[in-house]
């Protein structure tokens, strides 16, 4: 993680200089020169630190995508060359604000050639450049599609790419999990696209500000349970190859990193599928009897947050439901995919006779955190990862604030201070502590490095101070105005 020089470092240098002024006058000039040299070196260090960040990672395009249609066909332990790969097709509807002859978009570890690309303008095909129609720029995960003629500003185009990819084993993109059930190894495929892994599943404009509507279709083996995605299931169709094709309703307009789907044999002990306020908690079948607490809390917290923010979750888009998934293999603690929240299994399951009270708090806290993101992050999104605190600061604050309100027995109000405020003070008490808004964030490594205590606990603590300063009524109406102005 790249960090800047703290103000404290400069202040210490000046104080030292003031002190040395009181020493032997013979040494004054030497000390001054030493200090000036010291400051010059510090300035050079600042310069070099700032120049290390590479803005070429940014897409910086005039293209604006409006809709994606994505078809994914996974192959698990098929025993042939296709094992743990997937077939993909993406259709991206877009316009551009300037005339351009190259389409630059993100694509990482996906396989296709120019023969797999078609570009349409109404019924007309736009030809690719004959020489060098497709270039991959691996360092920045870009694909450049070079065209024979210019695209016209304001005209709608549809780009289609047919490709293949790998069901990954690094817990990013579309990745594999397994568990053992009655001595049988069961494979499943889950997704983790935040922050920069949508590009590993489908070619895309993979930055948070390029929001679009996503329509997902998943072909899954017939012996698997129905797939899950961000939105409700729209239709299904049995295919002749032993697969079932499931198409989901279009998502709300959202960022690429929030796309999610699950191909598994997971089941839900508890779910509500009555057409309104649908919620579910899905696990491997043997664990579904450990989901009572998560389900009850999940239902309560989505209602309480909607009441507090003045915007009911389900009113934001009629295609939404809200499922919570306990994954066997998961890198982070949980992920707020819109309508399909994923968790590390140990953070969602709860058995009253066996789990400690602290785990009850952790389950409530993490569900509250992720559910807060449905508004802060999903409905309103940071335009770029430099402002990740707009997502994580609010989720960090409400994970305890709303839990304390609806579940007082887990003592979340005490944890808010111990877990967040003290952690924030500790994290900020180092010379190279980064600012909450960090403009030195460009590469995937810098982005993931910015998901730390400053972005979570410090931002959450500052939001808590504002809440206490302006009072509950002003805070609530301010949040409502912010969310409504999305």
Contact residues toward Zn ion (CB under 5 A) are 392, 395
Are the C-beta atoms of residues 403 and 391 closer than 8 Å to each other? no
DSSP label at 159? E
Q: What is the 3-state secondary structure (H, E, C) of 423-476?
A: HHHHHHCCCCCCCCCCCCCCCHHHHHHCCCCHHHHHHHHHHHHHHHHHCHHHHH
DSSP label at 283? E
**Distances 207 to 190, 257, 258, 341, 443 between C-alpha atoms, Å:** 21, 8, 11, 20, 12
CB of 395 to Zn ion, least distance (A): 4
CB of 400 to Zn ion, least distance (A): 13
Are the C-beta atoms of residues 419 and 400 closer than 8 Å to each other? yes
Closest by CA to 159, choosing from 200, 109, 107, 195, is: 107
Pick 392 or 446: Cβ nearer Zn ion: 392
Active site residue 135: no
SS3 content of the chain, % helix, strand, coil (to 5): 35, 30, 35
Is 369 flagged in the annotation as binding? yes
Beta carbons within 10 angstroms of residue 234's beta carbon? 15
Is 446 flagged in the annotation as binding? no
Pick 143 or 258: Cβ nearer Zn ion: 258
> Which listed residue (194, 336, 370, 446) is catalytic?
370
Site of tokens 């930055």? 207
> Which string of b and e fits 156-179 if b means at least 16 CB within 10 Å?
ebbbebbbebbbbeebbbbbbbeb
Pick 143 or 348: Cβ nearer Zn ion: 348
Is 194 flagged in the annotation as binding? no
CB of 246 to Zn ion, least distance (A): 28
Closest by CA to 93, choosing from 199, 205, 198, 201, is: 205
> Which string of b and e fits 20-46 if b means at least 16 CB within 10 Å?
beeeeeeeeeebeeebeeeeeeeeeee
Pick 126 or 335: Cβ nearer Zn ion: 335
Pick 72 or 348: Cβ nearer Zn ion: 348
Are the C-beta atoms of residues 6 and 433 closer than 8 Å to each other? yes
CB of 371 to Zn ion, least distance (A): 10
Pick 217 or 388: Cβ nearer Zn ion: 388
CB of 277 to Zn ion, least distance (A): 23
CB of 392 to Zn ion, least distance (A): 5
What tokens appear for 62 in the block? 């005039």
Residues making up the annotated binding site are 369, 373, 392
Binding-site positions for Zn(2+): 369, 373, 392
Catalytic residues: 370
């Amino acid at each position: 993680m790249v960090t800047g020089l703290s103000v404290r470092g400069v202040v210490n240098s000046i104080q030292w200089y003031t002190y040395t002024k009181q020493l032997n006058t013979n040494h004054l000039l030497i000390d001054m020169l030493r200090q000036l040299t010291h400051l010059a070196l510090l300035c050079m260090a600042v310069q070099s630190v700032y120049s290390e960040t590479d803005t070429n990672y940014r897409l910086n395009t005039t293209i604006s995508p409006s809709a994606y249609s994505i078809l994914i066909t996974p192959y698990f332990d098929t025993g042939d060359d296709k094992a743990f790969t997937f077939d993909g097709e993406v259709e991206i509807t877009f316009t551009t604000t300037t005339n351009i002859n190259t389409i630059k978009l993100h694509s990482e570890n996906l396989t296709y050639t120019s023969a797999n690309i078609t570009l349409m303008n109404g019924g007309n095909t736009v030809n690719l450049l004959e020489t060098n129609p497709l270039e991959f720029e691996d360092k920045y995960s870009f694909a450049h599609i070079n065209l024979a003629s210019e695209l016209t500003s304001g005209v709608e185009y549809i780009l289609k790419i047919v490709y293949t990819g790998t069901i990954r084993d690094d817990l990013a993109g579309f990745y594999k999990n397994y568990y053992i059930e009655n001595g049988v190894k069961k494979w499943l495929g889950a997704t983790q696209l935040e922050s920069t892994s949508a590009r590993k599943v489908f070619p895309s404009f993979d930055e948070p500000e390029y929001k679009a509507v996503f329509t997902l279709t998943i072909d899954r083996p017939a012996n698997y349970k129905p797939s899950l995605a961000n939105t409700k299931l729209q239709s299904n169709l049995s295919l002749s190859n032993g697969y079932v094709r499931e198409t989901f309703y279009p998502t709300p307009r959202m960022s690429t990193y929030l796309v999610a789907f699950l191909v598994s044999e997971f089941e839900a002990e508890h779910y509500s599928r009555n057409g309104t306020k649908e919620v579910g908690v899905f696990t491997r079948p043997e664990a579904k009897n450990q989901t009572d607490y998560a389900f009850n809390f999940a239902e309560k917290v989505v209602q309480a947050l909607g009441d507090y923010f003045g915007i009911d979750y389900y009113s934001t888009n009629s295609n939404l439901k809200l499922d919570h998934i306990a994954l066997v293999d998961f890198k982070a603690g949980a992920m707020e995919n819109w309508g399909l929240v994923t968790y590390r299994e140990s953070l969602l399951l709860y058995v009253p006779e066996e789990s400690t009270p602290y785990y009850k708090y952790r389950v409530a806290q993490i569900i509250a955190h992720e559910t807060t993101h449905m508004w802060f992050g999903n409905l309103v999104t940071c335009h770029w990862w430099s402002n990740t605190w707009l997502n994580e600061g609010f989720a960090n604050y409400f994970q305890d604030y709303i839990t304390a309100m609806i579940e007082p027995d887990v003592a979340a109000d005490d944890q808010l201070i111990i877990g967040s405020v003290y952690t924030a003070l500790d994290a900020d008490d180092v010379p190279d502590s980064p600012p909450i808004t960090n403009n030195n964030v460009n590469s995937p490594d810098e982005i993931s490095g910015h998901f730390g205590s400053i972005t979570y606990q410090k931002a959450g603590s500052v939001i808590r101070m504002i809440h206490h300063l302006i009072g509950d009524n002003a805070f609530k109406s301010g949040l409502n105005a912010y969310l409504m102005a999305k």
